[in-house]
Amino acid sequence: MSKVFSVTGGTALRCKGWRQEGLLRLLENVLAVGENPSELIVYAALGKAARDWASHDRIVETLRTMEEDETLIVQSGKPIGLMKTHAAAPVVVMANCNMVGQWAKAENFYDWEKRGLICWGGLTAGDWQYIGSQGVIQGTYEIFMRIAERHFGGSLSGRFVLTAGLGGMGGAQPLAGRLAGAAILCVEIDEARIRKRLDIGFLDAVAPDLDAALAMIREAQAAGRALSVGLCANAADVYPEIVARGIVPDVVTDQTSAHDLLYGYIPAGYTLDQVRAMRGSDPQALMAASRGSIVRHVGAMLAMRRAGAVAFDNGNLIRTQAKEGGVADAFDIPIFTEAFLRPLFARAIGPFRWIALSNDPADIAAIDDFILERFPDNRIVTNWIGLARKHVPFEGLPARIAWLGHGERTELGLAVNRMVREGRLAGPVAFTRDHLDAGAMAHPNIMTERMRDGSDAIADWPLLNAMLNCSSQADLVAIHSGGGGYSGYMTSAGVTLVADGSEAADRRLRLTLDNDTALGVMRYADAGYEESFEEVEAKGLGYFDLRPARG
């Protein structure tokens, strides 16, 4: 089947309204910027935009023909039916890869996936919210900058960052590291991924071997020059070799697809072709080999940490896989959320996104200008907008991401909707966010690890988040759980809104953006975070404080 993956721009409608058209363009966009769109895979080895091509085509057909007072139901990437609702109801509601607790295991997922019964939506793949590597660049950059502030006097200039993985998520690392001022070495086993990051400007250079890569890093460190270097090799070989040479990076992490031992991680000593063949011929042996490599991989990270490196888990379950492989102290490596970002999440400050449905970069520039004028004291946002304008290329539809919190997101959404209404933008704008947001994810090994009250694994919050966003008239609402190696580890909720300039969009934006972030603040207040209580009081949120009276 020959498919052309491109994005649509302009103001011509193929659907009966901009809410449907906006979601259709976002579906087209995740495939245009995806890792393997011919297989509907957007990122993370298995994260898909739809279950199969028949499902994709029916979703497209339905979005084109459905009325304003109808809602499309999607189950694990498959359109199930079109329901009569009302004009303020969501256009699409979906549930992807949610399995009953005792059955939420990787082996069950693989079986059901092969039988065409389920697919994993990743976080932002299955609900058509992924915007390419740019979607996680700022979050990665903020992690690096928090490390710089805490450990290196506020700058990573002259510092060596070691990482691995240049896929749909990990591909953000080299540019984020360079923007933070570091000399960053990115190990990746798939040469095609390295070339892709080089072609779009995320990587500065590619080294032919480890000796050359380390020489390039040393030279950049000595000059205090920011540099990103790619090395085609297996991290499970490279990391132990760096330890054996007595080299200690300043920062070490990893973003390979370690979450999935079968379709994601590539074990040392195997070629890509061998791995592809073994997925069908001997999956158990392949998974055992992957776990064995991860044991070596994490063992080297722990050795670097003991030698003084700042080590952190970047959210790919690599510590979990290592511990199951016998590395008892794998969780001595902290998770990035708890270590560096939790004070922001406690105030519901997180990765908010907007996409120019017109496909006109000038729309993003105009929104940038508004943000710089309206939020001059928000150092995180103004700094990022300046960097992104200079260094972050658009992939697919022009888009931007910035860490905004309660009230700020609503103000921006309403302002942009007004700009659309007044003709100051070329077309409508879609708003969404990462699922890794304050009230939208339960993941005890990533987002909610070591919560203050011990509520790490309680998944009520993302479920409440999705129900609340449906009640608040969002255009798309999704509930996702883990698939493949993530099976049983997480549940999250996603939301999308289309600012089409209408008064109805004003109402949807105000209700959804206010309530989405308010619930995030309440989630952390309920866990006992003082930053959240401060936010509740400052913003007048209706949280019920049931703490025992003091004194």
* Count of CB atoms situated within 10 Å of the CB of 535: 26
Question: 260 and 391 share a domain?
Answer: no
Q: How does pLDDT run across 456-507, given as a tens digit for each residue?
A: 999 999 999 999 999 999 999 999 999 998 999 999 999 999 999 999 999 9
Percentage of residues of the chain with pLDDT beyond 70: 99
Res 1 pLDDT > 60: no
Question: 264 and 372 share a domain?
Answer: no
Q: CA geometry: angle at 195 spanning 192 and 201, to 5°?
A: 145
Closest CA to 404 of 367, 429, 448, 441: 367
At 108, is the pLDDT very low, low, confident or very high (cuts 50, 70, 90)? Answer: very high
Q: How does pLDDT run across 240-261, given as a tens digit for each residue?
A: 999 999 999 999 999 999 999 9
Does residue 544 form part of some domain?
Answer: no
- Domain that residue 310 falls in: 134-334
At 550, is the pLDDT very low, low, confident or very high (cuts 50, 70, 90)? Answer: low
Q: How does pLDDT run across 25-41, given as a tens digit for each residue?
A: 999 999 999 999 999 99
pLDDT mean over 371-383: 94
Does residue 471 form part of some domain?
Answer: yes
pLDDT score recorded for residue 519:
98
Question: DSSP for 59-84?
Answer: HHHHHHH--TTEEEEEETTEEEEEEE
Inter-residue contact 145 to 411 (CB < 8 Å): no
Q: How does pLDDT run across 428-446, given as a tens digit for each residue?
A: 999 999 999 999 999 999 9
Q: Which CATH number goes with the domain that contains 393?
A: 3.40.1770.10
Inter-residue contact 480 to 102 (CB < 8 Å): no
Does residue 49 form part of some domain?
Answer: no
Does residue 321 form part of some domain?
Answer: yes
Could you give the number of structural domains in the chain? 2
Domain boundary among 334, 367, 389: 334
Res 154 pLDDT > 70: yes
pLDDT score recorded for residue 409:
98
At 45, is the pLDDT very low, low, confident or very high (cuts 50, 70, 90)? Answer: confident
Inter-residue contact 317 to 297 (CB < 8 Å): no
Percentage of residues of the chain with pLDDT beyond 90: 95
Closest CA to 23 of 531, 477, 523, 487: 477
135 or 120, higher pLDDT: 120
Q: How does pLDDT run across 195-229, given as a tens digit for each residue?
A: 999 998 999 999 999 999 999 999 999 999 999 99
pLDDT mean over 372-400: 94
Inter-residue contact 7 to 29 (CB < 8 Å): yes
Radius of gyration of the CA atoms of the chain, in A: 22
Q: Phi and psi of 498, rounded to 5°? A: -110, 120
Question: DSSP for 434-500?
Answer: -SSSTTTEE-TTTTTTT-TTS-TT--HHHHHHHHHHHHTT-SEEEEEE--GGGTTT-EEEEEEEEE-
Q: How does pLDDT run across 276-327, given as a tens digit for each residue?
A: 999 999 999 999 999 999 999 999 999 999 999 999 999 999 999 999 999 9
Question: 411 and 309 share a domain?
Answer: no
Range in 1-5, 42-46, 545-549 the model is least confident about: 1-5
The pTM is what? 0.93
The rounded mean pLDDT for the chain is 96
Closest CA to 297 of 272, 322, 317: 322
Does residue 98 form part of some domain?
Answer: no
| The pair of three-digit structure tokens given for residue 390, joined into one six-digit string | 């200079």
Res 18 pLDDT > 60: yes
Question: 371 and 306 share a domain?
Answer: no
